């Protein structure tokens, strides 16, 4: 590695183990799913409340959080999302170049139960739009 700044882009379908891998490798981990965790006053716990109408805002927030971490100079940053298509990765490649981060693309292909109970039809849509690519494609 040329410097001590690395962005790990971790991709895979729900239940593949992206979050687990990211937490083992990075100082800071960001995921679009983090947007959907809300504090429940009654239980005093974070509760996952997915709203498909807010997926765009979730990804914008994720990108902003990654950029903030890079701006702070955090050494090992991971972003773990499905990233089924190349165009979804591109904003992170641009951020890495802007802040002088090397990039590692990690595809996780395990098959655990997804923690957010994503319906099978949604999983199939993700499988259908899955694109194979490498960093040299950018």
Could you read off the pLDDT of 19-65 as tens digits, one per residue?
Answer: 999 999 999 999 999 999 998 888 889 898 999 999 999 999 999 99
Q: In terms of DSSP H, where are the helices of 1-138?
A: 18-25, 55-71, 86-99, 120-129
Give Dmax over CA atoms of the chain in angstroms. Answer: 49
pLDDT at 136 over 70: yes
Supply the CATH number for residue 102's domain.
3.40.50.300
Q: What count of residues does the chain have?
A: 138
pTM for the model stands at 0.89
**CA distance linking residue 77 with residue 67, whole number of Å:** 10
Lookup: tokens for 51: 């709203």
- Mean pLDDT over residues 59-88, rounded? 97
Instruction: Confirm whether 49 is domain-assigned.
Output: yes
| Structural domain count, the chain | 1
Return the percent helix, strand and coil in the chain, to nearest 5: 45, 20, 35
pLDDT at 1 over 80: no
Q: Which domain holds residue 61?
A: 6-137
DSSP for residue 105: E
Instruction: Confirm whether 1 is domain-assigned.
Output: no
pLDDT, residue 37, reads 93
Give pLDDT tens digits for 88-119.
Answer: 999 999 999 999 999 999 999 877 677 667 88
């Amino acid at each position: 590695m040329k410097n001590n700044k690395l962005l790990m882009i971790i991709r895979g379908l729900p239940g593949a183990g992206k979050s687990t891998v990211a937490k083992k490798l990075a100082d800071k981990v960001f995921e679009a799913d983090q947007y959907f965790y809300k504090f429940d006053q009654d239980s005093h716990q974070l509760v996952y409340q997915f709203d498909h109408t807010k997926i765009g805002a979730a990804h914008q927030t994720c990108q902003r959080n990654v950029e903030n971490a890079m701006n702070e100079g955090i050494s090992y940053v991971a972003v773990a999302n499905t990233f089924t298509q190349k165009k979804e990765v591109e904003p992170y490649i641009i951020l890495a170049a802007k802040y002088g981060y090397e990039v590692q693309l990690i595809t996780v292909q395990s098959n655990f139960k997804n923690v957010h109970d994503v319906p099978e039809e949604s999983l199939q849509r993700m499988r259908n739009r899955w694109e194979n690519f490498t960093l040299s494609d950018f």
